[in-house]
Amino acid sequence: MSWHTLAAATSSAAASATARPEAADRRRSPGVLLLAALLLGAAAALALTVRADVVAPPFQGADERWLAWMGGPHEGFPAAVAAVLNWFGGPLGVVVPLALLVFLLVRRRWLSAGFLFGVYLVGSTAVVQGLKHLVDRPRPADPMVRVDHGSFPSGHAAGAALLVVLVGVLLVPAARRRAWWIGGAVFTLAMMWSRTWLHAHWLSDTVAGAAAGAGAALLAWWAFSPALAREHDRPADPAGPGRTARSGRRS
């Protein structure tokens, strides 16, 4: 498939979603599936390339040059931003998706809550940890934060991209998603920068992580979009189903 064909397909899907966002959410968009496949394919290609030579993959020179640019000084405002992003993507950062899960449960959006829990768990655990064990790439020397085994892919970058898609799908109205995607891309890029600035990852690790996280979430959205749209359109009953049934019997 040529880049011109890909651009035309993506533009067509975006235009359709912009013109009729509610209708677009009720069907499986081929543009979303295409983007998910491209992102997951890119992450898989990077994983296989690194696994073939974990010490010196073909782009190791570019990774090392980028890491040299991230040499410092590691202080001031950039250090504060990197510290916040490190917290957000670490174990304590799980409070954010948990808060979203509680919100959806309180709103009785059971399918959305299950979607959030399942996709976040699979994306952050099965995909990221599976790639880490498959590739097992050494990290840059002297990382400035505590890290686990395996540099490839970046779990922080994957989690950021995954969460951006999940929030956009479940909480942002379709007509306002364009602004959300732009802000989410900036946030994900900031997370990628912070991981290399802290010498916790190579640049290619963060690219693969972001691609894997976003691709997994987009694929799940494509699969469940009609059901999620039906749940979102269903009017909420503040009295509860039992109260509704009793009211019906009295009428």
Q: How far apart are CA 169 and CA 109, in angstroms?
A: 13
Read off the pLDDT of each residue in 98-125 and give the average, rounded to a whole number: 92
In sequence order, what E strands does 160-200 have? none
167/190 Cα distance (integer angstroms):
18
Structure tokens at 48: 């296989």
Q: What is the rounded CA–CA span in Å between residue 213 and residue 229?
A: 22
Give backbone dihedrals phi and psi of 147, rounded to 5 degrees, phi first. Answer: -135, 160
| CA–CA distance, 213 with 217 (Å, rounded to integer) | 6
Rounded CA separation 133/150 (Å) = 7
Contact 152, 205 (CB under 8 A): yes
Using pLDDT thresholds of 50, 70 and 90, give the confidence band for residue 231. Answer: confident
- Chain segment 143-200, per-residue pLDDT in tens: 999 888 889 999 999 999 999 999 999 999 888 999 999 999 999 999 999 999 999 9
pLDDT-wise least confident of 6-20, 73-87, 104-118, 140-154: 6-20
Nearest to 98 by CA among 121, 123, 128, 126: 121
What is the end-to-end Cα distance of the chain in Å, rounded? 61
Return the number of other C-beta atoms located less than 10 Å from residue 3's C-beta.
7
